Amino acid sequence: MKAREIAIVIRNLVLGANLESLGSLNHPRMVANYATECRFLYHSLFPNGGLPQKPVWEALGAEQASVTFYGKASEDWFRPVASYATDLVSMCMLCQILKPKIIFEIGTYHGSGALHWAGNAPGAELYTLDLPASVSPSLSVTAMDTQHIAEHARTAQMEFVGTPEAARIHCLYGDTATFDFSQFAGKVDLFFIDGAHSYGYVRNDTLRAFDCCKPGSVIAWHDYGKMGFNGVSRWLHELARQGKKIYRVPGGSLAYMKV
Ligand SMILES: C[S@@+](CC[C@H](N)C(=O)[O-])C[C@H]1O[C@@H](n2cnc3c(N)ncnc32)[C@H](O)[C@@H]1O
């Protein structure tokens, strides 16, 4: 872990941990996660200048939508920390409401998100981009990204293999900093950014998304407001200051904007 990342862990422990968590100090990693999530919750309840909170159906003017979950494949999202489930529900609702024809996802991981986006957008072709196992990211990444990259490289089989949705899910391989997005220019209806979480990568991935998106499309980012190793909030606050109308879902870490 780099010195800056150690400083983030210490800051989160000082600000986010509480007396009860002292009873679990024999699990230091879990206490560090707990403190980080406490800070996320605190800043969700007392936003003090963060992105405005709005459910996706309200921002997109939809009354209702039903969503489909894929049992075991949804386990990456249904965790003890509820914000991930909120993000999954909100992304599935975006798919249902927008009825996209082309979805682009950065960060395939186990393919759980890809299966849910394709399943909740039955008319869509879904393109999902991840690093090939042999390629290292060219920009700097966070410690958490390094873990995700290694886990993706180890994944033997994507969650969507063997499902009817698999025929509409297209895996692409490359580093988003160097990948050629030109075949998607102006064609994408829903763009989900969930690759590396350093400021440099989230900025790069957003600029590529703007090139790819149609007017009226939606860009969504995962992990906004998370207080660990994460450049998402810094970049999105910068973008909001430039006049972009970006919301975050209440209780979740999904941020989104209409293009
Ligand atoms: C948090 S996981 C994505 C989770 C996934 N979207 C889901 O719905 O379950 C992040 C993924 O981004 C990939 N990634 C990290 N840096 C990348 C880069 N520079 N280019 C492409 N993919 C990258 C990692 O390999 C990892 O699989």
CATH of 51-258, one of 3.30.930.10, 1.25.40.10, 3.40.50.150, 3.40.50.970: 3.40.50.150
* Higher-pLDDT residue of 228, 36: 36
Atom of ligand 1 nearest to the CA of 105: 6
pLDDT score of 223: 95
Mean pLDDT over 77-90 rounds to 93
Report residue 179's pLDDT band, with 50, 70 and 90 as the boundaries: very high
pLDDT score of 211: 97
pLDDT score of 20: 85
Mean pLDDT over 43-57 rounds to 90
Beta carbon of 112 within 6 Å of any ligand 1 atom: yes
- Domain range summary for the chain, segments of one domain joined by +: 1-46, 51-258
Which pTM value belongs to this model? 0.94
Mean pLDDT over 142-170 rounds to 94
Q: How far apart are CA 165 and CA 125, in angstroms?
A: 9
pLDDT at 77 over 90: yes
CA of 19 to the centre of ligand 1 (A): 35
pLDDT score of 111: 96
Protein residue closest via CA to atom 11 of ligand 1: 107
pLDDT score of 74: 85
Best residue among 148, 151, 155, 253 to mutate for probing ligand 1's pocket (most ligand atoms within 8 Å of CB) is: 148
Contact residues for 72 (Cβ-Cβ < 8 A; gap 6+): 159
Report residue 67's pLDDT band, with 50, 70 and 90 as the boundaries: very high
Protein residue closest via CA to atom 21 of ligand 1: 130
193-237 pLDDT, tens digit each: 999 999 999 999 999 999 999 999 999 999 999 877 689 999 999
